[in-house]
Every structure is written in structure tokens, then in C-alpha cells.
Chain A
């Protein structure tokens, strides 16, 4: 085992959490991510293999699917992001690649992103100050990518109305977190 200590996207030894009345904003570094794109002409066989590995079919446009361990969300035509706990799946990309072989291009994305979760009844009030996603209309499992704090971010509805994830570029984690907390103070 290596002995390098990981830092969270915000740079601290532990993820940061803040309570803003009706919303809690938490930094969630504990997730491994891998992007999966079907190879040309192997879209169907890839989907079959992915289903076998994940235990569910890859979700359609703008949506998310999951079981206990894996979550998959659509990112583009024949492209998905797979999410799993980092503690048990740090080598997620490798695992998926060995399951899908030459049917897919798989890229490790663990540390390309910073995930912030918003939970509580005030999620809509915060997010409407930040991005054009119509979060009130988003059902559980809806996913969109849009601009937030000038950056391309995924906005994921984990539970309708009161649990959303904002996943944005890791290098700007500080700016995204600042935008989220400032909006929360302003809106709530």
C-alpha cells in the first residue's frame, strides 16, 4: 500500500459540510468515477455487458440509474459516467474496462470532478440562483449538464425536491463551493 495522503477537492484533510437552514451543503469526495463510451458499432453488446456488470441497464438520455453499489448517468450520446464508492472502487475504471473490454473506451475520472451534495427543502431556492436547470421539474434520477459559476457542471436529482448533486471541475472546487454557499446564504 502506498502512503500518500489524499486531500479533498477543497484541500482539506476531511470533506467540508455546512448547514444553511433548510439546506446542507456537503463536499463528497468519497466517490470513484469512470467515463464509459461505447465503441463504434458495439453500442448494443456494450450495453449488454454493462448491464451484466452493473446489475441494471445503462440509463437513457438525461437520466441516472443505480443499484446498491453502482450509479450510472448519461453524459452524451453513447456515453455515461459510472459512480461507485471510492473506498472500495478506487480502481473503478480498470474494473469496468476489464468487464467491457474492447466494446468501450473507459477513462478514469475519479479526480477530475468535485461533487457537492445539497440536501433539504431549500435546494430549489439555492440552485435557481446558480443555474438554468429547472430543478423543480426534475424527478429523482434526472441529470442535466449546465453552466454554474461559469463552469460546465452536472446537476443530478438524487431525490426529488430535496437531494441534488452538483458535480463540477475539481480545480474550481473552491469557486463552486463559494458560489453554492453564497447563494444559500442569499436565498435561504
Chain B
């Protein structure tokens, strides 16, 4: 029993048979099938269970507007939930499963919900899960979470990759039906850069689904011929399997290209999907139209589908949902389904037309002025119950019913910038309004131009108009003859009958009754209706259902449809997988990595690395036998303070500041004075924000009268540069100063410790005197090293020891670290990482990021007097505010535990020895803490109210978060060498 519902003809390739499975059962289809068409060909109508009531559901549509036939694809880590069977391209080995059912699709235990439907009506969530509040977290939410959502996630990492990309064009054409293809031909032949995208794997749109001829070709053949011509044009890019998901600001559109969804696994190195950002000067929306159903009782049985979809399955995919079908319509177009299916040899029992004066167009029985009032059949349609024009009833046996309530222009994208569609009485449909996204125009059925001839003409005309706006000329193309029938329709939205449920939004299980209830409960705005009933809020955004809801609401309110108005659509046009939005930014590729010049060498040394921003910095360098990081760090600190150590400090931001006004400029960006810094000297600088809060600090060296090299903290390098450009360009644009970052140009190493000079004397070329006299504390100089390599030497110290920083061009950084370590062997030189660096700066009481934390002032940091009042600098005025200068202002001090075994913890707050522990009695907090191997004690620095005058006080350091409380003593933040004798040695 294979493909018993397969018809003759169609555009499937019978030469290629594909095996696939649905719910474990094996079937066959052909190349060119979708999962939906192949299932129908195999006489499978039941494809899923509905969201709320678990009603058996089949396919409603034949495209991405499908609300019902959502399935899980593939298995294992490639399992993907909620894909529409109507858009899933069949491939050999495809595995699909139905969703939202247990234990099986045919017997679903949750279908019990259907019996309780009276409780699950509009506003169910609002009414039910209101109280008691305590029930929310423990009871309601888990229940809702379990019941909600259709498919399930694999909970494994997606093994596939996704790209992001950028495309540019003059005209982006959205949709490859007759209007889109005519537009592409017009613009393409005119030489414009054109992108035409269609979500389908075949261009042609409805041309592939209808039997219309274009010129002397079938519609499908014309589409194929046209695409061949377009593909030969270098200036046209034809993108099938590509959905334009949104029209964003200023003409930017988003697109998802499904590169590998139609194959079992992506080829090596290839991605599954691409998220494109398309910069189109003009966008032409040729998205066609979407048919709308008529609501009647039990209109959701598998087998009941849109008439146009039924016709598409027959014409394009040579599949019929059943051997005997009927059609229910309010317009002439519905009759085409009967005509086409009869031509394919399907038995059409009757055309049921709501219009009393319906024309007889198909060669089958016509029931004019009749309505379908109910249906039966447990897991699929068996009978339709019809009320004839004379009021009598009649049952007709059929396995499928094609329903047409007319067509809605596909206005989705016209709403993405809040444009509101407007009502067109003649078409009884909303058409694009005036407020379109920038650069967007609409052609063809999407604009209410429904006939093939009208669509071709509009596509061509609108493309020419778009090019004209761009100053290009397009010659009119000769359009072939095509069908040009008008719309013959008598609006009809829902059948009034008994008490059964008539479905509007099949994905969210919203019925006519729900809309009535909402109206009864006074939800009168369409926006309220939408949210209260959830009509149109499912993943299909109500593409097939909104119109019915609006029409019913209008009728209940005694208003016209335009008076009631419409809700609007938002991006994305159809659901988008999270993976493609992430692109390659996941796992280790989440952000780029910055490596220091000594990275390779540090890796060889077995360094442990830490991420600081994008930088990877060595944290410590473990030696054999060391089992705990503290052992390594303590050893590194002792080695530096005892002899010499080397640390890569390249990551600190470096900004080259040049120009005749460079000194004046620095005077403005730093709170302290820089103008008189002599050439060959370095100075510590504190930068404030305009509100007087410390922003960044670092040392700046004057290399020449008109050249400084500023260093910033690693974290703030980018922000400081941006700030300095602001100060220059926006505040003092005529200062002669030029800024450029040189962070990466120089490999810079700190060489610190009492033997640092001796070590460097082996590296620095002998003509440069680096003795204490020849190169005093805070000196800087351009030098050469290792026999002539240009370098820079700074005598600055973060550790408090005699120390230097030496910089060479980055390409020699690897060689230099090796040379330094070799030269340092006689001094037992160590490499030290950021942890030892941190310990030593805390021992020395130097502020860093934890202290410059966005709330502290120069005064807090103990540098109040550095803020020069003799000059204008950023932040100097507001740093004088009263509130920032209170007598008990926080001051940077040090802390030691009274009991040597206790630990000072960063983040802990300081409380008086006696008294309550609460925010009102907060005295300050610890910002940085470390174990000092020199003092053999835990130490910390932080901010204490009036701290400078509280030396020796014992306080409680409490951390309610960790439940710790220790007694500490307030001490000077300068734990080591408070007089600074070592660094001047």
C-alpha cells in the first residue's frame, strides 16, 4: 500500500524515490515532495495534535502559513521541534515524529482536555492561575511548562554550524512568484543589482500550484525558464530556500537561507543555515496572498484544508488527501479546486457555495446557497453535514474538504515598521497601508493584484519605478499573456449553527466561541481580543486565522471590519532557529581571543590562563610539585620581592598622544597636572569622569616635547580612547593633538625585583646607562636591546619593588621573553602572572579596577590633592561637589585580621565592633583581598568612612552572603615598603 493517493503529473520527480519515516512507520515519496505532500500521497491525514485540546489535526495549508502540521525532525542531537511539514523538503532517510501526544498520535491521553474545553476558554490563564500567589512557582508554573510547547528539544549540543553574512543590492525582491519573477526580469535586464529570494525550494509561487498557462508555457515552466535566464545574469542573485524574515530600520532586511536542511547532514565544513543581513536600496514585496478559511463546527478534522492548498497538492505534488473530496467556498476561486481535482481523476462529491447565485464552474454537483454546518470522523474527515439553501440538511461522504473564504494579501512585512494595512471593500481584504518600511513597495497579490496578468504587470512596473527612484532606467519587458480573472466573492466568515466549536486559530486552539466570550467580557479593542484569546499569537501569527476573528468581532460589535481595525505583524515572518541567530558566536568562538606576545612561551611553561576581556593572560606558572595555585603564586611573589620576576603587561592600553598641544590636552583629560612633565619622565595620571568619579588611571611617559605614550588599564583601553576622541573632537576641536592606539604594537614586560636592573643590564645595549643615577625612578627612554633592536624602557613599578617595563616591537616579543628568562637564570628569575601581580599591588596599596569601580572619587582613593584646581580638566568642577567631599567620606585603607588565621574577603562590609549589622550602620567595604606571603597573613584594602583617621581600630568584617564575620584591624594600605625605598633603589 504505497502512495495510494498519488496522482498523475505534477512536479515531483518520479525517477527518484525517497524513503522516509513518520512516527516510526516507513513510507516512500519522491524528490520534489514536501513531508506533507508525501504523507498525503501515502494516505496519512493525521499529522499532529493541537496545542491546548490535543485535537487530532492534519494539514491546513501547503506553505509556511501552516498552523497545524508541526512535526519533530531527525533524531539525536539533530532533533528539531516544531517544523512545518508543509515546508520540509523530503530527503532520503528523513525521520519525522508527531508532537504533543502521549502515548501515540492516534491515542493521546491528553485529549481529555477536549472534554474540559468549557474550562479552557478565552482568558483561561488569566482566570485560573491568579491565586493563591504561593501556587505560582511550585504548582502552576511546572504544570504550564509541562503542558505548554509542542515539540521537545534534544537537550544536546547542536552539532551543526550556522553562518552570518551580508549582502548588498539595488533591489531586493521578496517572493519568486509571477510578480517577483517579472520584477526580477525587469530589474535584472536593466543591469541593476538584484536579489530575489523565495522561501520555497522552487521559484514560481502559485504558478507551480495552478494550471494557468503563461504565453504558450505552463506557469511552472515559465517560472523555470525565467529563473534560468535570471541565473545567467551576473547582476542577479536567485536565492531559493531563503525566507526574508523582517524589514528592519532604514531598508535593512533579514533573511534565513536553509543551506542544508534538505539533506540528511550538512557536507563537511558547510553550514545548516545562514542569517543574511541584506542592504537593499529598494525592497519589492511580492509575497503573494494567503487563503483564509471559513469557520464552521468541527472544521479542524484532518482532511479539511484550504481549497488552494488542496489544489496545490494535486497540481504540484500530484497528491490528494482523499479519493473523494468536496469544496466549500464563498468565491469563484474555490471552484478551481474542484475543476483541477476532477481533471486529475479525483472524485469531487460537490461544491458547496454560500452564494445563492453561485455559478456552476466545475463538472460536479453544485450546492448553491448552502453551508457546511458540521463534520464527523474520529481521526479524519468522513462526512460533512450540509444545510442546503432550502434549510434541509444533507450528509456528504468525503475524506477531504477544500475550504475557501477568499484570499488575503500577504501584508506581513508591510507591518514591520508599524504600518497598518487598510481595508479594501472590493477584495474584502486588508491591503498594504501607506506607512511602509523605508524603501519598500508592494506588487502583485500582496498588493491585492490577484490575477496572474495583473501580478506580472505590477511586478514589472514596480521594479521599473524602484529603479527610477535610484536614477536607473529600466525598459518595460514584454509580458506574456496570462489569466486575468477578477475576484468574485461574497464575504462569508463563519457558519452560524449549533453549540459545537468552530475553530479560528487552529495553532492556539481559539474558537468562534472564545471571540464571543471575549466580546461579552468587554475586550473591545482588537489588540485586547488578540491577547485575551491568544488569537494569532502562535508561531504562525494567525496568517490564516486573524481575518475570521476580526470579522466575527465586527459583527458582534455591530461595526464594519475597517472600524474594528486589524492587529499587525512583527518579524520574523516565520519561526527562526536560535542557532542561526547565534551564528558562530558560541562555545570557544563566542568572542575573538587576544593573545599576548609571550603566549606561546607561557603555554610551553604550563601557565594557567585567565580571560581578561578578550585577552588571555597567564595567571600563574605552576612548577612541578606544586599542588595548589597559592603555592605557585606565593613562590612568584617571594621571588620577585627577593630577586627578580617578569610579567607580560602588553595588555595595558597604550595610546600615542602627539601634537604641539599634546601636553595641554593631557592636562584636560587627567585630573592632575601634566603640562610640566619633563621629556624622559613618566607620571601617574588619574582620569575622572565629568561627574567627578574616577574613570581610569595609568602612567604616561613624555617621549618628546610633542609626544606622550599613555597607558590605560587593560579593561578600559577602548573606552578611554573613545573618551579622549570625544574630548578632542567635541570639546576642544582646535587643539593640535593626534591620538592613535599602539597597544598591540609593543610587547611590554615588567621586570621587577631587587635584581631587575642587573638582569636588564644584560639585555639593554651597553651605551644606555640604566643605573639609579643614569635612569632614576619614573624615567623613560628610547633605547636599543640585544645588539640594536629599538625598544622603550620605563622605570615604573606596580609591585613596589625596583622595577622596569621594557617594550619591543611585538614580533620580537617571543624572542625577548626567552632572552630575558635566559639572562635571568643566574638570579633565579621567575615568570609571574596576574595573581602575583594582584597580590603585590594589594601589598603595596595600589588601586586597580576593584577600587576604580565607578563609585569612587579621587578623594576616596586618597588622591584628592592630586586634582588640580589651577586648571580645567574633565571632572574637576563636579569633584568639588559637597556630597563628594563630606568629612566622613570613604577613604582607601588596609585591613588585617586580628586573628592571623582569619581571612579578609573582598566584598565584605565593615561594621563597628559593637552595634547592629545593617545597611544603616555600614562603615565601608573591602574591595580587594589576598594572602600576602610576605606578611604571612590575609590582607585586604577597601573603603572606610573617614578611614584615614581610624588607623588601628578593630572592626567586624561581615559578609551576610557567605555568612562569615571576622574581626579586622584598620591599617595603612601600604603593607610593604610604605616609604617607597625599594622602588627608588
Contact = CB atoms under 8 A, between A and B. Distances in A.
Interface of A: 1-9, 11, 29, 35, 37, 39-41, 79, 91, 102, 105-113, 128-134, 136-137, 149-151, 169-176, 178-179, 182-183, 185-187
6 contacts: A1-B788, A2-B789, A11-B814, A37-B738, A40-B660, A134-B279
A112 B269 CA distance: 31
A42 to B, nearest CB: 9
Contact of B787 (A2, A173, A183): A2
Nearest to B584: A182
B167 interface: yes
Contacts of B279: 132, 134
Contacts of A11: 595, 599-600, 814
A135 to B, nearest CB: 9
Contacts of A170: 744-745, 810
A105 B810 contact: no
A7 B614 CA distance: 21
A6 B815 contact: yes
Contacts of B742: 107-109, 112
Most buried by B among A5, A35, A112: A112
Contact of B659 (A9, A105, A179): A105
B242 interface: no
Interface in B768-821: 784-790, 808-816, 819
A157 B208 CA distance: 43
A129 B271 CA distance: 11
A75 to B, nearest CB: 9
A113 B744 contact: yes
B815 A169 contact: no
B746 interface: yes
A186 B163 contact: yes
Given A5-B815, A107-B656, A183-B163, A174 B744 contact: no
Given A39-B736, A128-B166, A186-B271, A172 B819 contact: no
A172 B786 CA distance: 27
A39 B269 contact: no
B315 interface: no
B787 A132 contact: no
A100 to B, nearest CB: 12
Interface string B580-614: 00001100010111111001100000000000001
A17 to B, nearest CB: 18
A150 B787 contact: no
B277 to A, nearest CB: 7
A112 B614 contact: no
B811 A111 contact: yes
Most buried by B among A2, A106, A128: A2
B706 interface: yes
Contact of A132 (B166, B270, B707, B790): B166
Interface in B732-789: 734-738, 740-747, 784-789
Contacts of A136: 168, 193
Given A4-B808, A111-B745, A128-B165, A105 B271 contact: no
Contacts of B788: 1-2
Contact of A174 (B277, B595, B735, B740): B595
Contacts of A2: 784-789, 812
B165 A129 contact: yes
B811 to A, nearest CB: 4
B472 to A, nearest CB: 15
B165 A7 contact: no
Contacts of A137: 168
A1 B811 CA distance: 16
A129 B163 contact: yes
B745 A112 contact: yes
A9 B789 CA distance: 19
A111 B746 contact: yes
B587 to A, nearest CB: 13
A7 B658 contact: no
A95 B784 CA distance: 17
